[in-house]
């Protein structure tokens, strides 16, 4: 046991030495415990373990202390187990160390070879460095020898070199006039200016000396001639942009004032640009017909001299005028603005001159483009116009980059927007004309004579309405489809918010769809503005338009707005007309048209009744044997109106009557139906008093009330107007016995048929009662006819 403990102590001492060596290495390389810093608790715990003398892995481990502690605290069995554990750990560490040595053996061999090779290479480098040092030493000695040999003549050589350079300069000055003349003769103006600017400072400095004064005078005369030639070339119309740039550059080098050159250059450029603008103006006049094309000898020349379409016009302007003005701007910038100058005021003046020059010409160009685009508003296809506007817009965007101090895109956008508005206005006008043509077609169909065996006019009303509705809707959809060319994905300006938003919401939705609906309502309202009591509009047309407006309110307006908003992606709903406002407008228009239709039809029947009453002598008439023909005509007309209205409107709701109703349901051949007791006359009672008492208990009848959108309501309004007119005409006449009896027969005949057309048959009964009572009041011999006789006459009539 003691031997084992001694061996353990030896091993522990070895391990202690190894730990110390590792600790020293960690301290040298700045590594603490081989781990990165952790949080405060972990750091304190680790530091406590490292200072523990019984910690095998700590830096302060004491083998003797650790062994003493084990002997005191552990039993023999535990000590033996601890010994076995340590033996296993030692063997594991030895095995790991051996594995590491085996794994790094090749690396050690390779490192050894590398070190050996480096030694050989350094030995060769040392030899070469020694050889280089010896060569440098020889060169230094040779250089010193040369310097010592030439030291006496160095100043003399330097002086001779200076004299030689001066002689060369003098020779150049003496030969300068001849060289300048030769360059001018050869038109080598750039070489001449370079020669002169090279010698200019010397000539000005020594011009007071006689030998240089003659040279200076000759050179100034030659340069004056050169300036004249350059100005002559500068002012030639045939000069290219490159030649102009060269002339300006040379004149500026010769001291010509830059401000005057700016004016000269812009004036020269203006001639060419004016020619381009005049060509565009001529094309506008040719296209508009203001100027006739010249009579050419060949047809091809005549075709080429004709007016261009809008795309060719824009291409001509872009490739001609815009290209030339861009070239002028670029050349001007190179010549006057991008040069190295110290005078900022001169730069400001030159830039202001260019901006004013460009703005004046661009304003003329924009004016011509506006005129040409306005001439396109009558065409049917948008494709060419949109392509032309897109090309124009893109070219202006590029021009803005060339001259940043101007903003031509705003004016270009205004022209594009104006062109789009003109197209919308043209389409709106075409829609208005189409609607007017539809009305004309309906008028012609209503006025066309009816053929025997063909469909009657009443059956045609629904077809006429349907045809007009489908035609108008299809026309609007076609127009919206054509306008979609302005927002195509490949169009540049269509993607700009400042164009797309206002165009879709204000131009298309408001300016086209909403404006057309308003126009339809306004035009329909004009049919209700009748001077006096006469109208030229067919009543059937009024009813068709009324139904058309009601259909607008119910479905068409919502459908058209949804199509427009979907196709043009209208997002801003806050600034547009609400749909409910258009619904209310269409409904109000339909109501006015239907009310006017009732008045017109009522007036027509009233005219017949009024003439029948006014043209008859009611005092001296014969005993009635028949129903008057006018009453039969009234019933026929109201029956025809009933069939006409039924083509476009539903039946409607009738007022139910009680079981004791006096309704007349029999036809001409039925005389046994229940009849209402006829009007009785009691001479002993005051007729005026009885009439007034009866009115107190009868319902008040409003003759010109608003009509509902149903057949019963329409016919009720017409019957009320007709019977009220009949009543007022009776009040203006005086009747004899047989005249009163004729009124009895006529009113009874009307009652037999008119009750079925109205919503409340009591209304017909009340009005007819008033007519008979009024005739009784105005009769000189009020003797009533027997009801059985009246029934017999009405059945026979």
Using the predicted structure, report yes or no on whether residue 709 has a pLDDT greater than 60: yes
CA distance 14 to 330: 89
The predicted model gives 202-226 an average pLDDT of 68
The predicted model gives 473-497 an average pLDDT of 85
Number of helices (H), then strands (E), in the chain: 28, 0
Using the predicted structure, report yes or no on whether residue 703 has a pLDDT greater than 70: no
The predicted model gives 161-182 an average pLDDT of 68
Give the best-scoring range by mean pLDDT among 3-12, 177-186, 524-533, 706-715.
Answer: 706-715
Token pair 């640009």 is at which residue? 273
Q: In the chain, what percentage of residues exceed pLDDT 70?
A: 72
* Range with the poorest average pLDDT among 202-216, 377-391, 434-448: 202-216
Nearest to 498 by CA among 416, 442, 576, 399: 416
pLDDT at 588: 92
* Range with the poorest average pLDDT among 42-46, 178-182, 394-398, 732-736: 42-46
* Range with the poorest average pLDDT among 278-292, 301-315, 617-631: 301-315
**Residue, of 147 and 613, whose pLDDT is higher:** 613
Each residue's pLDDT tens digit, 245-262: 677 777 766 766 767 777
Using the predicted structure, report yes or no on whether residue 546 has a pLDDT greater than 80: yes
Q: pLDDT band at 331, cuts 50/70/90?
A: confident
Each residue's pLDDT tens digit, 755-771: 888 877 788 888 888 88
Residue 779 in 3-state DSSP? Answer: strand
* Per-residue buried b or exposed e for 338-353, using 16+ beta carbons within 10 Å of the residue's own CB: eeeeeeeebbeebbeb
pLDDT at 5: 44
Using the predicted structure, report yes or no on whether residue 535 has a pLDDT greater than 70: no
CA distance 564 to 424: 13
For 345-398, give the DSSP string: HHHHHHHHHHHHHHHHHHHHHHHHHHHHHHGGGG-S--HHHHHHHHHHHHHHHH
**Residue, of 347 and 617, whose pLDDT is higher:** 617
For 438-460, give the DSSP string: HHHHHHHHHHSPPPTTS--HHHH
The encoded tokens of residue 674 equal: 């229940």
Neighbouring-strand partners of residue 779: 735
Q: pLDDT band at 453, cuts 50/70/90?
A: very low
CA distance 581 to 143: 107
Q: pLDDT band at 72, cuts 50/70/90?
A: confident
* Range with the poorest average pLDDT among 318-332, 453-467, 551-565: 453-467
Instruction: Return mean pLDDT, the chain.
Output: 76
Containing 783, the helix (H) or strand (E) segment is none
**CA atoms 121, 127, 128, 132: torsion sign:** positive
Q: Where are the domains of the chain?
A: 2-124, 257-406, 423-597, 617-632+648-796
Q: In the chain, what percentage of residues exceed pLDDT 90?
A: 4
The encoded tokens of residue 576 equal: 């547009």
On whether the CB atoms of residues 526 and 543 are closer than 8 A, the answer is no
pLDDT at 61: 80
Give Cα 597 distance to the centre of its chain. Answer: 44
Spatial CB neighbours of 581, under 8 Å, sequence gap ≥ 6: none
**Residue, of 663 and 448, whose pLDDT is higher:** 448
pLDDT at 517: 92
Nearest to 745 by CA among 780, 785, 774: 785
Each residue's pLDDT tens digit, 647-688: 888 887 776 654 444 444 333 323 323 333 344 433 334 444
**Residue, of 432 and 298, whose pLDDT is higher:** 432
Using the predicted structure, report yes or no on whether residue 734 has a pLDDT greater than 80: yes
CA distance 528 to 707: 15
pTM higher than 0.75 for the full model? no
Q: pLDDT band at 238, cuts 50/70/90?
A: low
Using the predicted structure, report yes or no on whether residue 316 has a pLDDT greater than 70: yes
* Range with the poorest average pLDDT among 46-50, 410-414, 450-454: 450-454
The angle formed by the CA atoms of residues 450, 453 and 458, to the nearest 5 degrees, is 50
**Dihedral, 665, 667, 671, 674 alpha carbons, nearest 10:** 0
Each residue's pLDDT tens digit, 146-163: 877 777 676 777 777 776
Using the predicted structure, report yes or no on whether residue 625 has a pLDDT greater than 50: yes
CA distance 576 to 506: 7
E-only strand ranges, 43-180: none
For 273-317, give the DSSP string: HHHHHHHHHHHHHHHHTSSPPP--SSHHHHHHTSPP-HHHHHHHI
* Range with the poorest average pLDDT among 106-110, 215-219, 395-399: 215-219
Distances (CA, A) of 669 to 236, 665, 797: 110, 11, 10
pLDDT at 658: 43
The encoded tokens of residue 522 equal: 């306004």
Each residue's pLDDT tens digit, 88-100: 888 888 888 888 8
CA distance 380 to 481: 12
Nearest to 527 by CA among 639, 435, 645, 463: 435
Q: pLDDT band at 34, cuts 50/70/90?
A: very low
pLDDT at 306: 55
Q: pLDDT band at 12, cuts 50/70/90?
A: low
Distances (CA, A) of 379 to 354, 373, 472, 564: 39, 11, 20, 22
HSE-CB of 609 using CA atoms within 13 angstroms: 28
């Amino acid at each position: 046991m003691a031997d084992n403990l001694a061996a353990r102590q030896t091993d522990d001492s070895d391990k202690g030495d190894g730990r110390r060596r590792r600790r020293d290495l960690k301290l040298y390389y700045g590594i603490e415990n081989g781990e990165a810093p952790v949080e405060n608790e972990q750091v304190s715990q680790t530091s406590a373990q490292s200072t523990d003398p019984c910690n095998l892995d700590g830096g302060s481990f004491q083998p003797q202390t650790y062994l003493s502690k084990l002997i005191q605290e552990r039993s023999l069995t535990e000590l033996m187990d601890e010994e076995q554990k340590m033996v296993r750990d030692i063997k594991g560490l030895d095995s790991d160390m051996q594995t590491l040595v085996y794994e790094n053996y090749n690396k050690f061999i390779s490192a050894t070879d590398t070190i050996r090779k480096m030694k050989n290479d350094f030995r060769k480098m040392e030899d070469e460095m020694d050889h280089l040092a010896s060569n440098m030493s020889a060169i230094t000695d040779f250089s010193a020898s040369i310097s010592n040999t030439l030291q006496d003549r160095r100043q003399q050589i330097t002086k001779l070199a200076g004299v030689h350079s001066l002689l060369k300069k003098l020779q150049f000055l003496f030969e300068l006039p001849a060289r300048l003349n030769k360059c001018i003769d050869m038109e080598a103006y750039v070489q001449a200016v370079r020669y002169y600017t090279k010698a200019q400072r010397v000539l000005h400095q020594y011009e007071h000396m006689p030998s240089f004064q003659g040279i200076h005078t000759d050179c100034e005369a030659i340069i004056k001639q050169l300036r004249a030639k350059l100005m002559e070339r500068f002012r030639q119309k045939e000069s290219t942009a490159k030649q102009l740039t060269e002339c300006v550059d040379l004149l500026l080098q010769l001291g010509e004032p830059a401000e005057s050159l700016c004016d000269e250059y812009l004036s020269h450029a203006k001639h060419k640009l004016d020619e381009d603008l005049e060509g565009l103006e001529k094309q506008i006049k040719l296209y508009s017909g203001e100027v006739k094309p010249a009579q050419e000898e060949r047809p091809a020349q005549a075709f080429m001299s004709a007016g261009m379409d809008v795309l060719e016009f824009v291409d001509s302007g872009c490739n001609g005028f815009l290209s030339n003005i861009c070239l002028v701007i670029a050349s001007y910038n190179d010549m006057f603005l991008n040069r190295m100058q110290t005078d900022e005021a001169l730069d400001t003046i030159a830039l202001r001159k260019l901006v004013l020059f460009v703005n004046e010409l661009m304003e003329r160009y924009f004016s011509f483009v506006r005129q040409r685009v306005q001439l396109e508003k009558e065409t049917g296809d948008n494709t060419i116009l949109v392509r032309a506007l897109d090309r124009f817009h893109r070219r202006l965007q590029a021009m803005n980059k060339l001259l940043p101090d101007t903003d031509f895109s705003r004016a270009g956008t205004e022209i594009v927007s104006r062109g789009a508005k003109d197209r919308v206005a043209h389409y709106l006008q075409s829609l208005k004309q189409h609607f007017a043509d539809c009305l004309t077609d309906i008028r012609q169909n209503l006025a066309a004579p009816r053929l025997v065996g063909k469909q009657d006019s009443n059956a045609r009303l629904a077809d006429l309405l349907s045809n007009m509705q489908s035609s108008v809707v299809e026309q609007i959809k076609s127009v919206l489809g054509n306008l979609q060319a302005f927002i195509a994905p490949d169009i540049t300006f269509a993607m700009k918010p400042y164009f797309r938003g206002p165009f879709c919401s204000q131009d298309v939705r408001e300016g086209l769809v909403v404006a057309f609906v308003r126009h339809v309502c306004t035009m329909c309202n004009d049919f209700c503005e009748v001077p006096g009591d006469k109208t030229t509009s067919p009543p059937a047309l009024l009813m068709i338009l009324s139904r058309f407006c009601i259909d607008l309110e119910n479905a068409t307006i919502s459908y058209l707005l949804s199509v427009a908003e979907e196709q043009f992606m209208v997002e801003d709903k806050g600034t547009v007309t609400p749909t409910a406002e258009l619904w209310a407008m269409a409904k109000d228009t339909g109501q006015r048209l239907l009310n006017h239709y009732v008045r017109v039809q009522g007036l027509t029947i009233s005219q017949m009744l009024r003439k029948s009453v006014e043209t008859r002598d009611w005092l001296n008439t014969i005993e009635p044997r028949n129903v008057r023909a006018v009453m039969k005509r009234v019933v026929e007309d109201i029956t025809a109106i009933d069939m006409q209205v039924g083509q476009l409107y539903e039946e409607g709701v009738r007022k139910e009557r009680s079981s004791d109703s006096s309704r007349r349901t029999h036809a001409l051949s039925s005389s046994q139906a229940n009849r209402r007791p006829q009007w009785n006359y009691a001479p002993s009672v005051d007729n005026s008093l009885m009439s007034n008492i009866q009115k107190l208990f009868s319902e008040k009848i409003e003759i010109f009330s608003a009509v509902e959108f149903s057949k019963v309501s329409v016919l009720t309004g017409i019957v009320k107007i007709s019977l009220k007119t009949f009543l007022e005409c009776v009040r203006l006449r005086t009747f004899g016995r047989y005249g009163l009896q004729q009124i009895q027969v006529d009113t009874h005949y009307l009652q037999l048929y008119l009750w079925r057309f109205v919503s409340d048959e009591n209304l017909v009964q009340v009005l007819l009662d008033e007519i008979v009572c009024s005739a009784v009041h105005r009769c000189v011999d009020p003797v009533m006819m027997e009801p059985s006789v009246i029934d017999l006459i009405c059945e026979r009539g």
